[in-house]
Chains A and B, each alone.
Chain A
């Protein structure tokens, strides 16, 4: 059963692990505000990102109101619509998903799951959050800047991004680029911490091949982010130069409103290459932590060891590596040598192989498992279904000939919302329901959680499935109304109105989650240290919530991988990673279904 067995490992001298001097807080300010404790930083990251998430959700409401009932809301004109679309996209992808999955879950789970006392450089870790907050403030400031936030689309393609006629051309685009640069600087400080903690800061017995897949996912995503964000950084700097100094990195010769501009000789395609060299890995920077977290949720709540652990690890690494050679599949209609399309279509389809390995392994983990339909498990199952659906429409878009007619239609919007919008968000919800008891010591309300799940899961399907159909009809994305194109049947507009109503309902249902999150801090059921009877180290801390330093007097020693559930011949249905072999209670297997 356990294919990563109980073999002894040679222990390295625990130099820094022992004499790591923790920066203990001395005042309220250093304990709760300028805290160097990864767990506090994690909560700061998560709360900030969730707040941004609700703002971005509200922006999507306004967009949907315009699409569903065009002309009804006078304040959403074409310019405002582009600003909404841009800010919604950029906020959700960079400032919400990346920040929650890496800054939030990474900070909380990496040190606890690998048995460390904290991140290796807590001070840089703290700076990482404050840079992130600064980036968020700069981004939000653009709402109040003259001309408003940029409306260049979340991809910020030049030349239109910095030309007049694009909303936010005055200052919104500058604030956006500066905010991205600050975000990247902040992320680098955090990302270095996550990577080095996983590589060099583990506790005794915790080999890389014993780590929970959550850590593998976040680790690989952090490495990818450290290599992919530089491209966005450089692209942002160059576009800032184009905007502020009048350079022509991305700007060809052009005529604006009848006047020839001073620009000339630049390459707009260069920006697209740089942007997507960041942008495609970014999809997996979001997806890989989600993959890892889902693996752990499924194993824990199905009481089964993860199927094919080593293959899961290799699949994560393979996806991470492959995602750096597929970027131009976002540019099939940008004007490239046709051979490039051939190459990038091939690599894109190859990436389906490791991804399929992961999906099969999740299903085989569930196979004959002792499945408990808890709230985290529901979200994990919802993720698998949603991700497979979104992934399959990706196969359409990955092929050049199929992609060309579908480009810039609602089909693309439906695809990426399923695969990298809804799917990771379901995991984030599942993970919050799962780890909330560790963070606060109390369970979240289960009935509210299930209601939240069903509305969100069914609702998002009802929203995004019809969008595929709209895309096949040819309804373009990024148009603030469909206009008078005669080939759209009248029903297309009805469908748009239907999607809008559902989007309002599903968005409002997230308040259930918000209420649950806040209410349970005081009124949730007492959880105890290990309510899910899970094996990984974060559930074995001496105190819940874990104090600064996590482990009390002595760091744990790890004897096994994280997936010893229902081991034959063992009296309890899980063996914690830090339980010595001689302490494992042997005896008849318990009857299945017993999660007291």
Chain B
């Protein structure tokens, strides 16, 4: 009796694409060994990629649709230093600073996984300082451009969209860096206080603190750096 029920208890071994599907759809977790927080950050960054991607595409479309000439970015962002005319020098330094901060962030993650409290916290603070330096230089750049007459609605050199796209995109990226700096300092405080060693519950969430927070912070920080590379390429170099 009951053959109709029992015969469905086993299934023929799968092959090809079906195996991939079965593996991916496996029990409980689609991505083994990936914690909730890390998965959430990756998916958030995917969503944020679409935001920055759309900003850049919008900027490129505006650049194509405008009838007036586009200002020469190398000249606009040039500085006179000690009598030398250096195109894009400030942007080059800013890029260098931000990329370096990715290095210190990676080191912080490494020390975090070794559960070394002091070096982790120190490197997080260094990363935050580099980030703050970047934002500071960006503020300097904004001030310089504004004093030269660049406004969101117009500038002395050509297409009005130059200023619009500049303030919008660098502003949105700078906001990301600023938020990153704030959270870097919060994570650094948690590290030095030993929250991640003792699993102290978070103030808002009540979740136990873990050193993985440093890595998740790192994901965000590297993403913000990567976005800057694209902004650098498409806005400043083009």
Report A's interface with B, CB cutoff 8 A: 1-2, 5-7, 9-12, 14, 16-17, 19, 21, 23, 120-123, 188, 191-193, 195-196, 199-209, 226-227, 229-231, 233-235, 237-238, 241, 245-249, 262, 264-267, 270, 273-274, 277, 567-570, 581, 584, 586
Contact = CB atoms under 8 A, between A and B. Distances in A.
20 contacts: A1-B4, A6-B8, A7-B10, A9-B27, A10-B26, A10-B27, A14-B28, A16-B36, A199-B30, A202-B29, A208-B25, A234-B55, A235-B54, A245-B153, A249-B164, A270-B62, A277-B54, A568-B5, A569-B6, A586-B2
Contact of A241 (B24, B152, B208): B152
Contacts of A5: 8-11
B233 interface: no
Contacts of B231: none
What 6 pairs across the A-B complex have the smallest Cβ distances? Answer: A208-B25, A265-B66, A568-B4, A247-B164, A569-B5, A230-B50
Contacts of B47: 188, 191-192, 226-227, 229-230
Interface in B21-76: 21-22, 24-32, 34-37, 39-40, 43-44, 46-48, 50-51, 53-55, 58, 61-62, 65-68
B68 to A, nearest CB: 6
Contacts of A227: 46-47, 50
B120 interface: no
A17 B65 contact: no
Contacts of B159: 265
A10 B27 CA distance: 7
Given A226-B46, A569-B4, A199 B31 contact: yes
B152 A270 contact: no
Contact of B54 (A122, A205, A230): A230
Interface stretch (B83-91, B107-115, B198-206): B198-206
Contacts of B51: 230, 233-234
Nearest to A581: B9
Contact of B204 (A123, A200, A226, A230): A123
Given A23-B205, A226-B43, 14 more contacts: A12-B32, A21-B206, A188-B44, A192-B40, A196-B39, A199-B39, A200-B29, A202-B29, A203-B28, A245-B153, A247-B160, A249-B164, A270-B58, A586-B5
Contacts of A249: 58, 62, 161, 164
A16 B27 contact: no
Nearest to B60: A270
Contacts of A264: 66-68, 160
B12 to A, nearest CB: 10
Contacts of B67: 264-265
Contacts of B36: 16, 120-121, 196, 200-201
A247 B61 CA distance: 14
B3 interface: yes
A164 B36 CA distance: 49
Contacts of B4: 1, 567-569
B93 interface: no
Nearest to B47: A226
Nearest to B30: A199
Contacts of B81: none
Contacts of B21: 209
